[in-house]
Each structure stands twice: as structure tokens, then as C-alpha cells.
Amino acid sequence: MRTFYENDIRKRALFLSFLLAGWAAVVALRLVQIQVFGHARAKAAVLDQTRDTIKVEPKRGNILDRNGEILACSLPAASVYIRPVDRETPAEERAKGRSLQDRLGLSEKEVAYILGRLKDGFSFTYVKKKISGEDAAGVMALKLPGVGLEPATRRHYPLGSLAAHVLGGVSLAENNRTGVEARYNDVLMGEEGEQVIYKVNGGRDYQTQVIKSPVPGKDLVLTLDATIQYYAEKELARAVAEHEAAWGTVIVMEPFSGEILALASLPSYDVNDYPGPKNAWMNRAVQLSYEPGSTFKIVTAAAARERNRVGFTDLFDCSAGSITIGGLTIRDHERVGVLSFPNVLIHSSNVGTVLFASLLSIDEFYDTIKAFRFGTKTGIDLPAEASGKVRPASEWNKKVSLPHIAIGYEVSVTPLQMLRAMNVFATGGLLVRPRVVRSDGGFAGDASGTAGGPVRVISEKTASELVGRVFEAVVEEGTAKLGRLDGFGIAGKTGTAQKYDPALNAYTRKYTASFVGFTPVERPRLAMIVVLDEPKEGYYGGQVCAPVFRDIARQVLRYLRVPPERPLPSRVLTAEMERGEMP
């Protein structure tokens, strides 16, 4: 018979056995829960502590000119990052920050930002993006725990500032773009990849593994010709400097295709330093509107001729030198006499233009202006295009708006819009959409409604007659005589517009000078506009802009090997000799 002591021991043993069995069952169930049912969650938690997934930047596509010249490319680079290291003291982190500051030239603000991120426990922080190979090697030579390199690319523009306003530029972070870099970003950028960074050696080192390779972006071929662009920029820079102009622009376009061969704008900038100096990035050729002045008379003439309101033999008395309508006095730049309709335009008489424009109704004139698509974007594939301004006919002043608009005031246009209007005469009456990309990369539609092809604006007869009897003579004997080019006919129109100052509510003694035209006349190869704002030494379009047109056209036609359309003038070379010398 068991004693009380033995029974007590037995009870305690059974109790302890049940307790241990229960504990083992709980542990087993917990292990099942963790290892079977909670395996995926536990694994994810561990991986979250030991790895990070980050994006891998794809290589951006190249941008080429029409002949395959590289205008923009992406070169190998590296971005420096930093991660927290287990058991690293704040003093060690500060020392690491100072080492990176000395090697990479970081500012105090940048160092404070990095140290603040480490202190707050952020697992990944960029130190500096897209550094050179030399700097990358220097960083790795420091052998700093938690500091690594991420492969990247850096945008490079081999020709510096050439075609800056077409290319636009990309910031280092690639979050700020303009030009075709912005307009075709979806085509150029490609698709991001992914890589995993693993923590090893107790969090003091890291390893990377690419789990999704990036897809590089597609190349983009522009309509620009780098050589023609160089000619345009060189001559524009010379003119802006010579005349101390506030800004200037030149656009060269292929008449029948609408392809932009060159687009230059000053001030400019080195695209590698995008965005450059303040406002230098602004593409004045498409983003800035101005009152065109006398170049707009090509539209006034087209409106009158299309409706047979004026004949080429009609005469207009301009001898007074001014005309007053509804309290508005309009003056000529010089006193002229009685002029025929062609001579009114050849000599750019404001008085004569007002007289023949008065033969039109407001609605008729407005319809022609809208047919030329003024007040509407051209649809060029560049961002931030301005539409200019044309008020509805219902808002025109019944007495003074028509004569004022007839000579290029009370409307605003972009240089590109004005070029497109003159190009209508080069194409025999057709309006084409200008573009800067040869293969449009998915561009669909445009604001002007011309995406489907050229649109007829005026008859071929009207275009041909105005070119042959008026616009060619503007250059041969009129206001643009300084733009004559041996061997080639040029058709064009000058413009000199006084600038309006809203603060003074008046026109000032500052001017915007321009010349727009095309050449050769018989088979046009180039349409071009030159605009200079506030030129100091001479301010008439025929004085300051027509010669720029001539100089660019001469070089471009030679480059394109376009034969002269008329005989070149004979040249006689003579040499002075002293008496008695043999020739």
C-alpha cells in the first residue's frame, strides 16, 4: 500500500506530465501555425528586414538628326546610395557623411538631409545621382559600410547648345524636361527594371540581384539637319550681336512636307546644363507671340485677291503719307505717291494697304485670317506652343480694327505661325503642319486640323499671282532689297512692328523686325522666317532681317546642291599694274 508521500509524488508527476504535454502541444501547434500556415508571412517579414526592391533605370533612346548625327545620347553613370548599418553609432554616421561630402562636393544641406534620413531609419537614401565614372571609383575606394552604387545613365548632348530649343533637355533626376525630350518622353524613356538589394554580414555589406531587366527606350529621328541648324544659329548670333537685339529666332522649313530643317532661338543654353540661365530655355519660335506688323499684309492681300476686290492695275493715292479712320491715324514709314496694288505691298505702304483692305467686310477678312489658322496652334510636335490671339469678328471695333489688323496690329502671332502663312504661297495655296520628328512615334492628331494632310487655304491662282507679281518684287526692288541672292529668286515680305507697352497703354519707340519668305521661287526648297526683337542699329525688317535670310539661304542652298535658277551676274577681275610692268 502506497504511503501518502508516494501518492503525493505520483500526483505531482502526473500533473507535471500533463503540464509538459500541454506545453509541448501548444509549442507544436504554434510551430505548425508559424511554419505551415504563417510561413509566407514570416518569410516576407524576414526578407523585408534583409532586402529592398528598387527600380532600375532604362537607357534612354538616342535623338538623331535626319542624317543620323547624334544630338542626344545616354552615357553610363552611377548613382551613390547609403543604407543604415547595424550597430553603427551617430558619430560613425557623421564621419561617413563627411567623407562623402569631401569626395562628392556635397553641400551642408545635402549632408544634413542624408544624416537625417539615417537617423529616422529610412532603409535607402540617394547620396548623389548620376556621377562620373571617376567619382564612382573614388566613392568605392573609401570602402564605407552601407554605401553602394546603382547603375544609371546620364543624358549627354555631344553638340552642346546646337538645337537646344528643339531638344529641350532633361534634368539629372529626369523629373523636369522640355522640347522633344518632354514631348516624346514615353517613346524615349523605355521601361524600368527591378533589382533586389540583400543585407549580408550582419547588415554591414549588401549584394544586388536584377530580377527584371530594364527595356531601353526607342531612338527618335528628327527632321532637323545639324549642318543647316549650325548655319541658322551662326547667322542669328551674328545678327543679334550686331544689332544688340533683345532676342531673335530663325526657322527653316521644307515647304511641301512641313519638316523643320532648323530652329534657332536666342538667348540659348548648353543642353548639358539644362535648364541653363533664367528664361534661356524658352523657345521663342513657338512659345512667344508678337504683333507681326507688315508681314501680316500677305494675309490682307490674299483676302482681297481671293474675292477680286482689288486688281493688279488698281491705283491708290498714298501721297498724304497718312490716313485717319475713326480717330486712328496710320502713317507710312516714308512719303510715297500714287501706287499700284503691287507697289503698295512692294514698298509696304500702310496707307495703301488700309485703302484696299477697306474694300473687304470685317467678316470676309476674319474668315481669311481663320483660314490661315491664326489664333490656333500649328500642331507642331513641341510642348507649350502658343496659339497667338485673334479676337472674334464680333469683338472688332467697327471703325478701326479692320485697318489696324490689315497692317499687322491688334493680332498676335508666333514666328512659326507667320512662317506657315507665307509657306501657303510657296505650296500654291496649301497649309501644311510643321513638325520636328520624321517618324512621329505615335503622334496622333493636332490642334490645327491639318494632321490628315495639306489643307487648301487660297487658290493656286491667287498664290501664284501674288508671288510672281508682288512678293518676288519685294526682294528685287522693294523693302527687302538687301536680301537679294545672286542666282536665286526670293519671294518674301518685311515687317517692322512698333511694340505695345501695357503699362503705358501706348505704342513705344521699340520695334520687332522680321522677314519671311522662301526660295527658289520656281521650285521652293526653303521657307524661312527671321525675327529680331528691339534691334538697336537699324530696326526695319528689310535692314536687319532680310540680310540674315540671304546669308543663311546662300549656305543652305549650296549645302543642298541646289542649282541656280537664273544666270549668275558676270564678274570682271582687274589688277592694278605700274606703268611698264608686264601682265
What is 369-418 written as a DSSP string?
A: HHHTTTTS----SSTT----B---GGGS-TTTHHHHHHTT-S-BB-HHHH
pLDDT attached to residue 207:
64
Spatial neighbors of 210 by CB under 8 A, at least 6 apart, are 56, 193, 194, 195
Low-confidence ranges of the chain (pLDDT < 70): 1-7, 34-52, 172-176, 197-208, 439-452, 571-583
Domain(s) of CATH 3.40.710.10: residues in the chain: 226-559
> What is the spatial distance between Cα 530 and Cα 185, in angstroms, rounded to a whole number?
30
Residue recorded with cell 539629372: 172
Q: Are 427 and 256 in contact (CB under 8 A)?
A: yes
CA distance 452 to 446: 9
The CA distances from residue 370 to 299, 363, 377, 459, 469, in Å, are 10, 10, 12, 16, 25
DSSP for residue 432: -
CA distance 247 to 282: 11
Give the β-pairing of 491-501 and 205-212: unpaired
Helix axes 90-104, 133-141, angle to 10 degrees: 150
Architecture of the 55-220 domain: Alpha-Beta Complex (3.90)
Q: What is the CATH number of domain 226-559?
A: 3.40.710.10
In angstroms, rounded to a whole number, what is the distance separating the alpha carbons of residues 551 and 235? 7
How many Å apart are CA 428 and CA 384, to the nearest integer? 30
Predicted pLDDT of residue 168: 93
Instruction: Give me the residue label for grid cell 495703301.
Output: 352
Write out the DSSP string of 65-101.
-TTS-EEEEEEEEEEEEE---TT--HHHHHHHHHHHH
The whole-angstrom separation of Cα 297 and Cα 300 is 5
Structure confidence by residue, pLDDT tens digits, 24-54: 777 777 777 766 665 666 555 544 555 667 7
Residues of the chain with CATH 3.90.1310.10: 55-220
CA distance 408 to 511: 13
The pLDDT, as a whole number, for residue 449 is 39
pLDDT value for 425: 98
Q: What is the pLDDT of residue 40?
A: 63
Bridge partners (DSSP) listed for residue 75: 154
Give the residue from 431, 520, 428 showing the smallest Cα distance to 475: 520
What is residue 271's DSSP assignment?
G
Exposure on the CB side of residue 244, measured as CA atoms within 13 A:
4
Give residues with Cβ within 8 angstroms of 478, minimum separation 6: 345, 346, 347, 348, 494, 542
Cis amide linkage into residue 275, ω under 30° from 0: yes
